[in-house]
Amino acid sequence: MIRLISFDVWNTLLDINLMLKALGKALAEIIETEEKDVFEKIMNARRQIKEQRKNKIGIPERALEESQELLAKILGVDVEIVKRAAAKAVLNVDSKIVLDDVKETLKSLKEQNYTIITLGNVMFWPSSYTRLILEKFDLADYIDKQFYSDELKAYKPMKEVFLKPLRYFKVSPSEAVHVGDTKAEDFEGALSSGLYAIWINPNAQTVEKIAEKGFVIRSLRDVLNVLDEM
């Protein structure tokens, strides 16, 4: 029986593209350059970081710092500029950053007495900023505890990231399911750690079981259907 549901944050609960655009706008204002050029450099840095993490390059304990330093290097600025821009971006985002069906889904799951946690990687801004956004738009009310890679000193798809929160709640992997939008980090990472996994793939045709303990869905609200099936 499933007791705990773990959610990725960015592009599962919150819109990463809106946050990255807010970061680009803030950077462009601070360094007085074209917003389009800055955004392209942010996306370049993001691709490089994901590739490095996929290939296990770098120090997990410094995942946040390494991403900030890489972006600063690509932009040709001091890392303090990146930190300032991230803070400005958090101050400027509005409720559109919350993805469709998020609050309704979390509310429904909470009413069914599931333990709900977040399990997120960090890049360019610390987890404390993500916490602020979840508080600002009343999503934290439905979350029992939040876990992030800069606090865990590891990042998805590393097994420790998935298993440490389960130990905290004294829940076995077979009693937990992780929900996220990335196949490698979220879906495959959860499965390899012994959890059930739900991959949010907008291109999916329907809710489908695609592994012994894995499902694919089109949108977050389909999580309710999968839990019913399980």
Reported as a single tens digit per residue, the pLDDT across 10-41 is 999 999 999 999 999 999 999 999 999 999 99
Mean pLDDT of the chain: 97
pLDDT band for position 230 (cuts 50, 70, 90) = confident
Q: What are the DSSP calls for 111-175, one per residue?
A: HTT-EEEEEE--BSB-HHHHHHHHHHTT-GGG-SEEEEHHHHT--TTSHHHHHHHHHHHT--GGG
Q: What is the pLDDT at residue 56?
A: 86
Nearest to 105 by CA among 209, 5, 196, 182: 5
What's the confidence (pLDDT) of residue 205? 87
pLDDT at 228: 87
pLDDT of residue 50 exceeding 90: yes
Interval 147-191: pLDDT, tens: 999 999 999 999 999 999 999 999 999 999 999 999 999 999 999
pLDDT of 60 reads 95
Is the pTM higher than 0.75? The answer reads yes
Q: Tell me the percentage of the chain whose pLDDT exceeds 70.
A: 100
Domains of the chain, first to last: 4-14+95-229 (3.40.50.1000), 16-92 (1.10.150.400)
Mean pLDDT of 90-116: 97
Give the bridge partners for 209, in sequence order. 215
Asked if 147 and 164 touch (Cβ cutoff 8 Å), the reply is yes
Among 120, 121, 175, smallest CA distance to 7 is for 120
Is residue 49's pLDDT more than 90?
Answer: yes
